[in-house]
Structure 1
Amino acid sequence: MLTDLEALDEAAELTAPICIFGAGAAGITLALELAKKKIDCLLLEGGGLEFQADSQKIYDGEVIGDQHTDLAYSRLRQFGGTTGHWTGLCAPLDPIDFEKRKAIPHSGWPITRADLDPFYARAQPYLQLGPFAYGTDDWAGKLEGEPLPLDPAKVGNAVYQNSPPTRFAASYMAPIEASKTIRCYYHANLTDLDIDAADKITGAELKTFHGKTVRVKADHFVIACGGIENARLLLNFTKDRPAGIGNQNGLVGRYYMDHLNCTLGSFVPADPQLSLDFYATQEVKNAEGEASVYVGLKLPADVLRTERLRNNTAFLAPIWEDETFNDDFRDHSWVAFSSIAKAMADGQVPDQLSSRLCTILDDPGSVATGITRHVMRKVHSHGGIVRVDFKQDAEQAPNPDSRVTLYEEKDRFGMQRAALDWKISEADLLSLRRTHELIGIAMGEAGLGRVKLGLGLPPSDQDIYTGYHHIGTTRMHEDPRQGVVNSHCRVHATKNLYMAGSSVFTTCGTANPTLTITALAVRLAAHLDDVYHHRMPKDEA
């Protein structure tokens, strides 16, 4: 069922065993998984079914830390959430990402990669990915080209898969509308939670943009509104908990992480005709199914431990003699143009059309260059390779001083807006620099060429940008003094409130987060099924 909350009577009350706030990748996956288990749920989305400026404005806020990020542009407050404009690159976190490591302060998840593997496999179809196969051995003999002849003990290959990308609104609106167990309401803005003396959430308040108030009663509540919004909501719920719900130890909003999105470091091949076909996006098929595969370079786990480094995958971007084949025009303007063009080609109205047009007008030259080059590539030859750039979303360590807080300005519902203080440490940058050094040593030993480091000493963060990945603000840890949620994603300070999405990540690894977000949602559904059917001891819930 799919209903506009505006259609309900003032002071109506909604009830269900489980209530989910947020209809993005996490919330929609969770609702669909509960439907498979025949558990009734409410799925509540603050925005509309499509982009609406009044809803999007709720995401406005202040950036008070590193300025190479933003609060509103990167998120979509509508049904389907930010999957409305994600790019689709996917990989699971590595086993080492879950470990407690000396190189990563505040690291160590309370679960392992093996614990999450079954749920990763079940998450793949939600993102229209191929089989859960992320090793080069899984695709042996299927990929075109040959991997670079690097010592595998020093530099390995990392396999990613490309989602189409899946737009959750387009893919899952119809199944949710037809569902007999999911009642989805949009324009349902969460404005308060009630919590009793026994730390149980007893109800929630919803408001519409036209002033209606609706109450919610449920046995269990899940907030799945994104890495920034999850923290903002908890910090705003001060009626019964002056510091905010779940914030008894001052941890809500802390340990904010993003990936260090940058094109830094490069190598000049000894042979300008070096084949890099193995590292280009390929549509391949093995015995388990088909996938769009993209391979990069990664240091093995043993090297990360020995060298005390953060994780990173370096994708290879060749720069050709004929600049027609170079992709240096792919800036924010080109991404905005590409999003508009793809939506129109699919017969859809582009989301955030006005803001994206403004982005294009800020730098129309890159769009003109990109269009021209795509046309000219049909008649030009790319020639030899001048250099190969390293493109990456590098890991940064969790830092309690990197955080989401509130400031005095309020949104239309009277809730304080978010302020983001994203901090990049010198240690994060030095780790990336050393990663490139080690890749360079291995390439030199293999006679492939010479690597030029993109970070100097001391390293500068001027070329480090947001990956648009908002991670870690309600982190998972079994100790309430070190995390907001437990291993089942339940808020420590409550009996029945759960968090879903990348806000629960303890560390961020280097993999794009959407696959892990979806896997954790599948896992949370399994846990709530156990709780619902009383298969879980109360002290473990």
Structure 2
Amino acid sequence: MSGGPIDRTPVSDADVCVVGAGPAGALVADRLAADRDVVVLDAGPRFDPADRLARQERAIRPSYGRPDVWDVGGERDAHANSGERVYPLNHARVKGIGGSTLHWQGMVMRLHEADFNSETERGVGEDWPIEYADLRPYYAAAERELGVAGASDNPYAPPREEPHPMPAFEPSYSDSLFAEACEELEIDMHSVPNARNSEAYDGRSACVGYGTCQPVCPAGAKYDATVHVERAETAGATVIDRAPVQRLEHAGDRVTAAVYATPDGETHRQTADAFVVACGGVETPRLLLLSASDAYPDGLANSSGTVGKFFMDHLFAGAGGTLDEPTRQNHVGFYTSACDQFYDEADESLAPFKLEFFNYAGPSPVEQALTGEDWGDALLDRLRDGYGTHIAMGGLVEQLPRSDSYVTLDPDRTDDHGNPVPEIHWSVDDRALRTVERATEIQREILETLGADVEWVAGPDATGPAYHHMGTTRMSADPDDGVVDADCRTHDLDNCWIASSSVFPTGGAMNPTLTIAALALRVADDLDDWLAAA
């Protein structure tokens, strides 16, 4: 990396200003950069790829917490909680070029058809103003862009138009153990689509098995958004790091400038013809609320009063224990088999959920060695006795959108620029908690059929978030019911789009990143058409 001064001054005559360089912002910028003057502003730094091995070492040392790996914390990342459940926001977010994909697990599933019509099909939730068919070609494009390894062996998945770009990863050894119990219980297992290379793809190597996928992949085999940031820059885009946007200015129904700060204490105004807010499910509503004006006293694009409302996440359901035989866990840093068999049984009483067969239960040999005080033969005996017999399952459960689950501004605490920090008020519905209990019943049955000694269960009383922030600027056909329209353009502002999981009216129970990517590509196409017609 260059040691010279970095130019963080605004770009003149920009067509598009994108706020956020995570997966959504990166894909929008890459899609538009060849034909449009694009500038991307991101609050965090540009991490040096050469540091990833050091970050991997930091990740496996017990003296470091997960946020430490990507320098999360401090005044910049301060937040508050006010809900019935504490939401540990900083545990799983990254501010910087690449965003959350720098530390994500890399699982990429499509939402099911009924997820787009939850109120009609299941009697609860909301219907999206788009159908699965509207997003289907963009899902395929997103799989190509990210590089997805998968197979067509899931009978419960929504229809698709072509094979995945790469073949699926082979089932793990512990998958074969699970398969015996699942066959006896007539529970189906199938492969999992991964945004990591099962073979060389797009100039990046195949997975080499470091096993530290979450929170860092030193090899670059797992997709992260720096791929598209760099591609956008090659095509002519300007990417400015450490440029946190303080507010959006507007005149009438058009955003006119993004006001951002720089490390030297300067404040700049980036003007553009169009703006894309791609800051994720927490920082996106926060920025709109910070941009309140006389015309929008409750926050920009908030005539509906729904900015920040309907904050959702996926709830975790899990169970695990030990077997009296080797399970070879922690050889693979991601899971390779899942079960969607119960997903479409969802109704008013039970939510959609999926089951995951873990490959990373229990401590790794490195973790065991670093946390003990014994050495030599005693350490070897402990590793032989305690490693490799753990086994576990996980799962994700949908949470319904609720008005009493929201993101707002904390009135008492400010960040390093004097702005109110995000306050999260997280509430969970009874339907989700019932479904967590149902999922853990199935998981326990599988583990006990396998012969495992079940030692822990993450049921309704122990569940937590999957760190998938959704719903806070939701999509709606009626401007009174949401923040953006079917094209993700804000109802109130003619030249402002939102590319984020924050536009999800419902969350389903599938990891959201592929849907984020598909929507971002769709936003780019709509924005390009708008610019052409302007």
TM-score range, shorter chain: 0.7 to 0.9
Is 1:253 matched up with 2:250? no
Give 5+ residue unaligned stretches, structure 2: 49-69, 157-162, 197-212, 214-221
Deviation at 1:381, TM superposition (A): 11
* TM-score, normalised via structure 1 length: 0.73
CA distance in 2, matches of 1:187, 1:217: 18
Give 5+ residue unaligned stretches, structure 1: 284-291, 319-325, 339-363
Show the counterpart of 2:132. 113
Is 1:7 matched up with 2:13? no
- Name the SS for the 2:249 alignment partner: strand
Deviation at 1:496, TM superposition (A): 1.3
Is 1:62 matched up with 2:84? no
Is 1:217 matched up with 2:268? no
Show the counterpart of 1:328. 362
Is 1:85 matched up with 2:103? yes
Amino acid across the alignment from 1:92: R
The 5 A counterparts of 1:233-382 are 233-240=287-294, 241-264=296-319, 294-305=336-347, 308-317=349-358, 327-329=361-363, 367-368=371-372
Residue 394 of structure 1, aligned match among 394, 397, 402? 397
Residue 124 of structure 1, aligned match among 143, 149, 161? 143
Residue 26 of structure 1, aligned match among 18, 24, 27? 24
CA distance in 2, matches of 1:215, 1:120: 35
The 5 A counterparts of 1:172-183 are 172-180=228-236, 182-183=237-238
Maintained 8 Å contact 1:207/1:213: yes
Show the counterpart of 1:424. 428
Show the counterpart of 2:217. none
Maintained 8 Å contact 2:468/2:512: yes
Show the counterpart of 1:471. 470
Show the counterpart of 2:93. 75
Show the counterpart of 2:409. 406
Maintained 8 Å contact 1:440/1:451: no
Maintained 8 Å contact 2:117/2:127: yes
Maintained 8 Å contact 1:110/1:477: yes
Greater strand fraction, Structure 1 or Structure 2: 1
Amino acid across the alignment from 1:188: A
CA distance in 1, matches of 2:169, 2:370: 38
Residue 194 of structure 2, aligned match among 144, 157, 162? 162
Amino acid across the alignment from 1:128: G
Change in CA separation of 1:104 and 1:449 when aligned onto 2, cut-off 3 Å: farther
Residue 187 of structure 1, aligned match among 238, 242, 254? 242
Q: Deviations over 1:389-428 (max 9, x none)?
A: 4311222111111111111222233321101111122321
CA distance in 1, matches of 2:320, 2:123: 23
Change in CA separation of 1:522 and 1:378 when aligned onto 2, cut-off 3 Å: farther
Deviation at 1:379, TM superposition (A): 6.6
Amino acid across the alignment from 1:7: D
Deviation at 1:491, TM superposition (A): 1.3
Deviation at 1:313, TM superposition (A): 1.4
Show the counterpart of 1:509. 508
Amino acid across the alignment from 2:104: W
Deviation at 1:252, TM superposition (A): 0.8
Show the counterpart of 2:52. none
Amino acid across the alignment from 1:175: R
Show the counterpart of 2:54. none
Maintained 8 Å contact 2:361/2:392: no
Q: Deviations over 1:4-31 (max 9, x none)?
A: 996356xx56331111001111111111
Amino acid across the alignment from 2:401: P
Deviation at 1:78, TM superposition (A): 1.0
* TM-score, normalised via structure 2 length: 0.74
Maintained 8 Å contact 2:301/2:483: yes
The 5 A counterparts of 1:193-232 are 193-197=248-252, 199-232=253-286
Amino acid across the alignment from 2:514: L
Maintained 8 Å contact 1:440/1:450: no
- Name the SS for the 2:41 alignment partner: strand
Maintained 8 Å contact 1:5/1:187: no
- Name the SS for the 1:89 alignment partner: coil
Change in CA separation of 1:84 and 1:428 when aligned onto 2, cut-off 3 Å: same
Show the counterpart of 2:208. none
Change in CA separation of 1:379 and 1:81 when aligned onto 2, cut-off 3 Å: same
RMSD, aligned α-carbons: 4.4
Amino acid across the alignment from 2:399: Q
CA distance in 2, matches of 1:225, 1:46: 9
Show the counterpart of 2:56. none
Change in CA separation of 1:105 and 1:303 when aligned onto 2, cut-off 3 Å: closer
Amino acid across the alignment from 1:50: F
Maintained 8 Å contact 2:340/2:354: yes
Show the counterpart of 1:356. none
Deviation at 1:192, TM superposition (A): 1.9
Change in CA separation of 1:34 and 1:104 when aligned onto 2, cut-off 3 Å: farther
More divergent stretch after superposition (372-381 vs 99-108) = 372-381
More divergent stretch after superposition (480-489 vs 428-437) = 428-437
Maintained 8 Å contact 1:411/1:417: yes
Change in CA separation of 1:83 and 1:113 when aligned onto 2, cut-off 3 Å: same
- Name the SS for the 2:13 alignment partner: strand
CA distance in 1, matches of 2:399, 2:370: 30
Deviation at 1:143, TM superposition (A): 5.8
